[in-house]
Amino acid sequence: MPDVLRTPDDRFEDLDDWPYPPQYLSWRGLRLHYVDVGRGPTVLLVHGEPDWAYLWRDVIPEFVRAGYRCIAPDHVGFGRSDKVVADDWYVIERHCEALRHLVETLDLRDATLVVHDWGGPIGLRQAVDLPERFSRLAILNTWLHHEGFAYGDAIRHWRDWATRFEPGTGDLPCGEVIVRTAGLPCPDPDALRRAYEAPFPDATWKAGPRRFPWCLPFAQPEEGNAADQQRCFDALRGWTRGPVHFVWGDADPIFPVEWARRWSSLVPGATLDTIPGASHFVPCERGEAVARRILARIEA
């Protein structure tokens, strides 16, 4: 086992709009955290970089009120899940394996999958490899690497900036990244910074957030699972299990809305809603609107 850290529980006390008791399961000797709240059909919410399940704090209540069960896991290295200290432990395949373990251990069936950012490549992999477990897909400001995908200046600048933080000691400012990337006004930026820094007492704990930008597959095709992302992109073009709905912050410089329009046009029967003025972290900026638009589509 690599060296592992576990964030103290008191770091998560008194976070705004986050009353959920932690749930845990074990994978390869690591403790994985997830929220499991509500009763009814299952919604699996998969976060990306550099956030954790807290990203869904305004989404979860809307689904629960509508009669759904929400499961929101933290990737290894994020949130309440264990933190492997070594940066080079983190490759996208390990995140995929950990999420598959959760899906199979909880025996999810007929689930709605909601993905954002790196949650797209990691979560959509589950839908492609375990199609019998998922009946609906909701895709938010993310991508799947494939031949011809145009990585714009914003994502290349993000990787260049984020990979300057030294392995082991680089204090990538997770909360500040989210606050500054928001396209819509943040009502309480200090509370948001605190929530997204809560998992990390110091930079030693931040190997997971440091590593996601490094793994972008245009630069690291093996560690970023470029071939599997291509496979999943191709498979979704023939997806027939159930409805696919895209919800997009239309001011996102990382994955522009033009990409959402193109991608949604390639998936049979897919629909697209845009959130005016919202940027990359659309579940954080307009979580209630995101949930309501997904609900309107999956309940139509």
129 is catalytic: no
Burial group, residue 192, by CB count within 10 angstroms (0-12, 13-18, 19+): buried
The number of CA neighbours under 13 Å toward the Cβ of 90 is 28
- Own/partner contacts of 161-166, CB < 8 Å, gap of 24 or more, are 162/210, 162/213, 162/214, 163/210, 163/213, 163/214, 165/203, 165/206, 165/210
Among 74, 87, 117, 250, the one annotated catalytic? 117
d(CA 287, CA 168): 33
245 is catalytic: no
The amino acid occupying position 52 is W
Tell me the chain's radius of gyration from C-alpha atoms.
17
DSSP-derived 3-state class of residue 271: strand
d(CA 300, CA 295): 8
47 is catalytic: no
Active site residues: 117, 252, 280
